Structure 1
């Protein structure tokens, strides 16, 4: 059963008890990420996430690691463009420790100057590693082309210039502005008692200031091209189109259209580009939705010698897709989507992430049956209309090692 409570300061506390397991997933989810950053502070959300592990409360970085691993647990964090999360996997009896560690990291990070300079070097190495990996960096290139000169188009990792300028004062100001009770959700799933979770949240997070940070500026899909070079045998292509926002009326129709096109081994892109022609090992399509807009993208990695043929075939498949999609294809991807959702909810982390995401979007608990009903309601005409709408707009294109071709 899913349960939801609110602390007096506005912090949401949600739980999903799962009988039959002895562990728990605990996470603090923050409605703030890289798209909330100014250009000068690009990368600060991700650097903040790193720095809270470098000492918080009464513990050093080493003591934080030892505290969670002494009880067989795991502590982690992740920064996205619209959110940040801090998570702990623990045996059920150690839920209080997991919450204590997360609370200390958010409420009392040290941000020591020497640690900050060292961690900047670590982040710069992470940035360098991403740039040396074409299959990673091409998605930053596509994001930059799709949302040019906007926060949503900037790298989550930041740049060398922006990372170098961030100070401890900047980190403290970021925490004060963005880590407010109204934008935070504490979620636990697994062997958890809701009343006990609320008590723990109250004891650790009651002093968080109320309110929420200002919403980021709405994003606009610009489209454009980014051409990269890499000394490798592989060529990489990413195409982007404006997709629907998470709460748009045609979101599920668009999602299923994209799944037919490139969502699995039976998809059109996989079957025709890889299986029939052998032009790429990796080829797929996906939808990344945010509150105000979405990005529909297609990615393929192919040999340089075959890249022109692969690009041409992908363009042909995309161009033919709207008019030829069938009821059988819709029924198949709908079943896959329902199965994927329900399978993910069999794990404590799947439950925790699901509850946190739905609360962020709807500010209420959403039974998975509602999502299944939305998927069931999509018709073939709606699927085709959603696809036509996305493909009719401007496009973004990022390539590494692909020769210039005329867009379809």
Structure 2
């Protein structure tokens, strides 16, 4: 049975997932808010805040925070996304007490020193510059900006030097209280963990969390558009996005399978046609990115500039080809891959803790893996045809092309090949 979800008096939820035989424990404290809750003026603040809490919290210095965890054989990390912020500790059996206390300090009692903030703005500014210099990062940002222009999902999680530059220790502290409010927090542990111990620690460390409310973000609207950018590079990189469905949609698993069939591995349609048959690309794959209310179907590829236009047409043809029912053997292979990925991921304690927290934030409960597998198995060829029709009905695409000028024709070529 899936692990039970407990709710503290202040709204913090707690999930315990013991895994027999493990000598380690994973703790994830996840806030169900992230960059999607930012307006343009505060773009990047959630990510900057995640950096800042590690500069000192609960009387520990930045060095103390990592040393005290590492001294017990563990490690600590954090990540900011569009819809959540996660703090993670991996530790040896018995390390849950310290891990919980340290994360509680990060979430509730960061020092927020003005001098540290000034230095960290410089560090994040370097991170922004590094992303701009990396073609594989920049092309995804360009595509995301085209897909959701003028919306939080269309802005980079890192923000801009200008937007993070306006923050102060006081304003960032107020943002922390809203972002990490108790009703958004899930304390999730997996591995060598006892449920009674976890509930005791959660009450001790998170039972007094207070915070402000934030208005939920508006429903995202896929805008679409072209972002061809000429740059002196050896190779062209392409990201092709189409509007898809969110994680709560009935077609969520159909979307995952659609992406798997198109470009999920070496047996996929795009890999076989674009690389093996035509030799147009060394790297090409398809993927789905889903949020609470929307999602995208994407294709990423790297190729010679002279082949970019043809590659875009091939990708369009393979996507349109999904309007024809797939063979049962091809669908069965995709289902096996998706289920294999899910069950293999559950062999990691940290992945299980993170997954459980995400499910609680989205659905209010954890999901039974066997029930999820059954939903995957229930998808039919007709479901994939219907979903493909939904995706193409908008006649919108977001296309980013980065590389030599000759490659830029790929952007309009993809749209024309797909929609006429």
In the alignment, which residue of structure 2 is the partner of 1:149? Answer: 150
Output aligned runs, 1:368-379, within 5 Å. 368-379=369-380
How far 1:3 sits from its partner (Å)?
Answer: 2.9
In the alignment, which residue of structure 1 is the partner of 2:8? Answer: 7
In the alignment, which residue of structure 1 is the partner of 2:401? Answer: 399
Deviation per CA, 1:83-134: give whole Å up to 9, x if none: 1100000012111111111000111001111110111111111111111111
The 8 Å contact of residues 237 and 301 in structure 1, kept in 2 or not, is answered as yes
Say whether residues 1:270 and 2:275 are aligned partners.
Answer: no
Deviates further, 38-47 or 273-282: 273-282
Deviates further, 94-103 or 1-10: 1-10
Deviation per CA, 1:318-373: give whole Å up to 9, x if none: 22232152222111101111111111101101211221111111101211112111
In the alignment, which residue of structure 2 is the partner of 1:317? Answer: 318
How far 1:169 sits from its partner (Å)?
Answer: 1.4
The 8 Å contact of residues 26 and 89 in structure 2, kept in 1 or not, is answered as yes
Output aligned runs, 1:162-201, within 5 Å. 162-201=163-202
Deviates further, 149-158 or 228-237: 228-237
The 8 Å contact of residues 183 and 213 in structure 1, kept in 2 or not, is answered as no
Deviation per CA, 1:289-321: give whole Å up to 9, x if none: 111111111111112232222222222222223
Say whether residues 1:111 and 2:117 are aligned partners.
Answer: no
Say whether residues 1:132 and 2:137 are aligned partners.
Answer: no
Deviates further, 320-329 or 108-117: 320-329
Deviation per CA, 1:178-236: give whole Å up to 9, x if none: 21111000000000001100100111112112775321111111111112232211101
The 8 Å contact of residues 181 and 212 in structure 1, kept in 2 or not, is answered as no
In the alignment, the residues of structure 1 paired with residue 171 and residue 298 of structure 2 have an alpha-carbon distance, to the nearest angstrom, of 34
In the alignment, which residue of structure 2 is the partner of 1:91? Answer: 92
Deviation per CA, 1:242-298: give whole Å up to 9, x if none: 111111111111221121111111110111111222211211111111111111111
How far 1:398 sits from its partner (Å)?
Answer: 0.8
In the alignment, the residues of structure 2 paired with residue 136 and residue 198 of structure 1 have an alpha-carbon distance, to the nearest angstrom, of 40
Say whether residues 1:292 and 2:293 are aligned partners.
Answer: yes
Deviates further, 310-319 or 44-53: 310-319
In the alignment, which residue of structure 2 is the partner of 1:388? Answer: 389
Q: Secondary structure at the match of 1:40?
A: helix
In the alignment, the residues of structure 2 paired with residue 162 and residue 204 of structure 1 have an alpha-carbon distance, to the nearest angstrom, of 33
Deviates further, 160-169 or 36-45: 160-169
Deviates further, 155-164 or 272-281: 272-281
- TM-score when normalising by structure 2: 0.95
In the alignment, the residues of structure 2 paired with residue 211 and residue 199 of structure 1 have an alpha-carbon distance, to the nearest angstrom, of 25
- RMSD of the TM alignment (CA)? 1.3
Q: Secondary structure at the match of 2:231?
A: coil
Q: Secondary structure at the match of 2:372?
A: helix
How far 1:392 sits from its partner (Å)?
Answer: 2.6
Deviates further, 61-70 or 205-214: 205-214
Q: Hey, which bits of structure 1, 4+ residues long, moved more than 3 A?
A: 210-213
Output aligned runs, 1:19-168, within 5 Å. 19-168=20-169
In the alignment, the residues of structure 1 paired with residue 211 and residue 49 of structure 2 have an alpha-carbon distance, to the nearest angstrom, of 20
Q: Secondary structure at the match of 2:292?
A: coil
The 8 Å contact of residues 180 and 213 in structure 1, kept in 2 or not, is answered as no
Matched length: 408
In the alignment, which residue of structure 1 is the partner of 2:338? Answer: 337
In the alignment, the residues of structure 1 paired with residue 161 and residue 232 of structure 2 have an alpha-carbon distance, to the nearest angstrom, of 22
